[in-house]
Amino acid sequence: MKKEDVRDLIVFQAVAEEHSFTRAAARVGLTQPTLSQIVSDLEQRMGVKLIARTTRSVRTTEAGQRLLETIQPAFSQISDQMKALADSGDTPSGKLRLTTTKHPALSMLLPALTVFGERHPGVKVEIVVDDAFTDIIAGGFDAGIRFGEHLEKDMIRVPIGPDVRAAVVASPDYVARHGTPHAPKELTFHNCINFLMPSLGGVFRWRFWENGRPFEVKVEGALTVNDGDVLVAAAAGGQGMAYIFEDHVYDLLASGRLVRCLEDWCPPFPGYYLYYPDRKQKTPALAALIDIISYRAAARKATKPYPAHSDEHQDGRSPA
């Protein structure tokens, strides 16, 4: 295999995984026209179309998908071994690529990285924030942070936070105008703000429990959003009722900008986990980050001013 063949396959993999020449160009550090020419040259040499391109989409053809499935594990294994060799010393070094959703990035990861950066200045960290569930192997990530209930069984999972509890909230003005629901079934009479979750492929159903048994309610309303901060702002602005994790809204509840409804009906959910593939060697850099973020999680759990709730919980999907 020639040197240019390896380069071309790396470019093809980036385009196939990103479904975008623009994002692939940023990923591999080349210009978009250069990437387009490389893929065209590769297709010409192989005598088969690998990427189907339209003005709106970029996708692999059947032949392209077969090639992608062949080179992904090979390149992943090579990358793992090179990284393991580079990080084989005791001192953390190299680069960490992490995927996470916004809330744990802000509340857990960034504070931990402040300490991590001071202790290990030789490590570069790349954070990709994405509400969709990301395949960390295909994406070339060292680790990810998500809710434990969403993780594959072959992942090593490290808890980095306690269970989180849901809250139904609204502004005082909204409650004054429309009243307070006393049971989930009364939500049909309210304007509820829906939350669009890419990881679920649709709108999140509000989850409650009664006598230890979970059930879901499909709510309706004039507004649907896909960002937690926008969801909270809309509720605080009086645009309807929202379903959100209580630690997102403690300050707003304490200040009176939001009030809580249906508190006795809201269940806890399994908290956040840092996870990584069990087949992938844990580098010193990743081990060091896990030590710091786990220590902070334990300290936060010991001092966290959360209300005391039952430890019993049912597995289920959770709001982002």
Residue-wise pLDDT tens digits, 118-149: 999 989 999 999 877 777 888 888 999 988 66
Mean pLDDT, rounded, for 152-179: 89
Q: Given this model, what pLDDT does residue 316 score?
A: 37
Q: How far apart are the C-alpha atoms of 117 and 267, rounded to whole Å? A: 36
Q: 3-85 with 92-162+270-303: one CATH topology? A: no
Q: Given this model, what pLDDT does residue 200 score?
A: 61
Q: Given this model, what pLDDT does residue 20 score?
A: 92
Residue-wise pLDDT tens digits, 79-118: 777 766 665 566 777 889 999 988 889 888 999 999 999 9
* Pairwise pLDDT comparison (317 vs 137), residue with the higher score: 137
Going by pLDDT thresholds of 50, 70 and 90, the confidence category of residue 163 is confident
CATH architecture, range 164-268: 3-Layer(aba) Sandwich (3.40)
Q: How far apart are the C-alpha atoms of 202 and 244, rounded to whole Å? A: 16
Residue 33 pLDDT more than 70? yes
**Neighbouring-strand partners of residue 202:** 197
Q: What percent of the chain shows pLDDT beyond 70?
A: 85
Residue 318 pLDDT more than 70? no
Most confident of 134-138, 149-153, 172-176: 172-176
**Neighbouring-strand partners of residue 225:** 195
Q: How far apart are the C-alpha atoms of 170 and 147, rounded to whole Å? A: 25
> At the topology level of CATH, where does 3-85 sit?
Arc Repressor Mutant, subunit A (1.10.10)
Mean pLDDT, rounded, for 71-75: 89
- CATH homologous superfamily of domain 92-162+270-303? Periplasmic binding protein-like II (3.40.190.10)
Tokens of 227: 């960002």
Going by pLDDT thresholds of 50, 70 and 90, the confidence category of residue 301 is low
Q: Which whole-number Å values give the CA distances from 226 to 46, 131, 147, 294, in the listed order?
A: 42, 9, 17, 29
Residue-wise pLDDT tens digits, 258-287: 999 999 999 888 788 999 887 656 788 999
Domain boundaries defined on the chain: 3-85, 92-162+270-303, 164-268
Q: Given this model, what pLDDT does residue 308 score?
A: 34
* Pairwise pLDDT comparison (26 vs 267), residue with the higher score: 26
Contact 145, 272 (CB under 8 A): yes
Residue 2 pLDDT more than 60? yes
**Which residues, at least 6 apart from 285, have a Cβ–Cβ distance to it below 8 Å?**
87, 92, 93, 94, 95, 96, 120, 123, 142
